Every structure is written in C-alpha cells, then in structure tokens.
Amino acid sequence: MPYEAPTHTVERSLRATTGAKIVAGVDEVGRGAWAGPVTVCAAITGLRRPPEGLTDSKLISPKRRTALAEELEGWVTSHALGHASHEEIDEMGMTAALRLAAVRALEGLPVRPDAVILDGKHDYLGTPWRVRTVIKGDQSCVAVAAASVIAKVRRDKMMAELGIDHADFGFAANAGYPSPVHRAALAERGPTPYHRLTWAYLDALPQWRHLKKARSWADGNVPEIEGQLGFEF
C-alpha cells in the first residue's frame, strides 16, 4: 500500500523551539506480546535523507524489513537497544518496564540526546529526559521509523532463538504475540519459561491458572512520569 514517507519535521521543530542539537527517535516492540521481553530502540539520524521505503516496521514485509534493518544499522548516526525481561514486566508492570528498557537504550548511545521523540501518545520515559510524544511517530518521523524497524527485527530474532526449544508455540512466526498456534500450545502445554505470568490470558486457562502471579504493582505503585514537552503535531 502507498504511504507517506517520514520526515524530519518534528526534529527540526524541536531544534528550533528547544535548542536541542542531538535528537533521538525512540520506539518499542513487544508491549502486547504474551511472552518475551519488551524491546526499545533509540536511534539518532541527523537530518540526512533516509533509505528508500523507510516507514513503520509493521507496514513492511518481513523480508524487506530484515534487509532494511541491516541497511539502517549502517546508515544511522548511532543506535542502541534496551530490553526489559518478562520477569521485569511481571515485577514492575508494563509502564515501568518500558521506561527501564528505554533508559537502557538511551544510556547505551555514545552521546546523550538533548531531546527524545517518543512514538505514541503517552510519555512513559519522563524526567530527566526531554520528551515529545508523536502519535504514529513511527510513520511520520525518520528517527522513530528507523528505531521501529531495528527494534522489530532484533526482537523477532531474539524470540525465534528463545522458541527453538518450544517449537509448538511458533515464536519464530508470532514473536510471542497471541496467534492461533500460540494459543493452542498454551492451552495444551501451559506457559514456557518466557511467558509473562501476571497477564490476564491465564484467566482463560483453568488448568494453568494456578501459575498466575499476583501483580505487586497493581496498587498504583508505579513511578510518576514527568517531563513531557507540551507540543502537539
């Protein structure tokens, strides 16, 4: 399907309005999966023309996405990935786990960004990072789109490797998301060592419901998120 190529519009605006010189695009993958980590990529691209076909990773075929990720890793100025494991997700909840993974990615960059463009509506990163959220930023912002593709390909590879000893779950194809194959394997075999055990899918599996863990963070004990830059696009 045709799509509008991402641009540097938001990054240029950030540079003009905040004085930021180094801007990182940040995107996550794995938030809605039932198994495996959540992965965040932070990418710095500058204002150069991006590779042809760059857009949200979900809009690109797996074959093209893999090739594009390899090209992007050589094209971006710098990038880094951060992960929060399924155990960390169970322990602290998704918002805090996303923040942990994002901080790991940003701190893995060789230079500290002056500002961050974060895909989506909600700022899960907060202070001390200067954040601007952009809905569908993975389609409209070059740096976020690059982060989207790199994160998706890296996490898919991780899930395929984790699934080698759990072939019935189809992790190489579904990356831990609830596909029909994944659901059927769960019902028959129960969760693997990589499943998130605080999640509601276990409520629908009576024979495995006893494995569900209580959410220690359900009382609202989640870090406050601050630092949002008050601009909309």
Higher pLDDT residue, 221 or 79? 79
- 145 and 178 in a single domain? The answer is no
Q: Mean of the pLDDT values across residues 129-137?
A: 95
Using the predicted structure, report yes or no on whether residue 231 has a pLDDT greater than 80: no
- 180 and 102 in a single domain? The answer is no
The predicted pLDDT at position 219 comes to: 45
Least confidently predicted of 54-63, 115-124, 191-200: 54-63
What is the pLDDT of the chain when averaged over all its residues?
A: 91
Evaluate whether residue 215 is within a structural domain.
no
- 154 and 167 in a single domain? The answer is no
Q: In which residue are the tokens 């700022």 written?
A: 123
Evaluate whether residue 231 is within a structural domain.
no
- 81 and 132 in a single domain? The answer is yes
- 70 and 164 in a single domain? The answer is no
Q: How many domains in the chain?
A: 2
Instruction: List Cα–Cα distances, 174 to 101, 130, 167, in angstroms.
Output: 21, 34, 11
- 32 and 147 in a single domain? The answer is yes
Q: Mean of the pLDDT values across residues 123-131?
A: 93
Evaluate whether residue 147 is within a structural domain.
yes
Using the predicted structure, report yes or no on whether residue 88 has a pLDDT greater than 80: yes
The predicted pLDDT at position 106 comes to: 98
Domain that holds residue 186: 160-209
pLDDT digits (tens, 9 = 90+) for 177-201: 999 999 999 999 999 999 999 999 9
Ranges of beta strands (E only) in 94-225 are 115-119, 131-134
- 169 and 80 in a single domain? The answer is no
Encoding tokens for residue 230? 């008050």
Count, residues in the chain: 233
**27 annotated among ligand-binding-site residues:** yes
Nearest-angstrom CA–CA distance, 78 and 82: 14
- 54 and 168 in a single domain? The answer is no
- 109 and 173 in a single domain? The answer is no
**56 annotated among ligand-binding-site residues:** no
Evaluate whether residue 218 is within a structural domain.
no
The predicted pLDDT at position 218 comes to: 52
Higher pLDDT residue, 37 or 227? 37
Evaluate whether residue 227 is within a structural domain.
no
58 pLDDT band, cuts 50/70/90, is confident
Share of the chain above pLDDT 70, in %: 91
Using the predicted structure, report yes or no on whether residue 224 has a pLDDT greater than 90: no
Instruction: List Cα–Cα distances, 98 to 102, 123, 231, in angstroms.
Output: 6, 10, 22
- 117 and 28 in a single domain? The answer is yes
4 pLDDT band, cuts 50/70/90, is confident
The predicted pLDDT at position 232 comes to: 34
- CATH number for the domain including 139? 3.30.420.10
Using the predicted structure, report yes or no on whether residue 230 has a pLDDT greater than 70: no
**100 touches 81 (CB < 8 A):** no
**119 annotated among ligand-binding-site residues:** yes
- 13 and 89 in a single domain? The answer is yes
- 15 and 110 in a single domain? The answer is yes
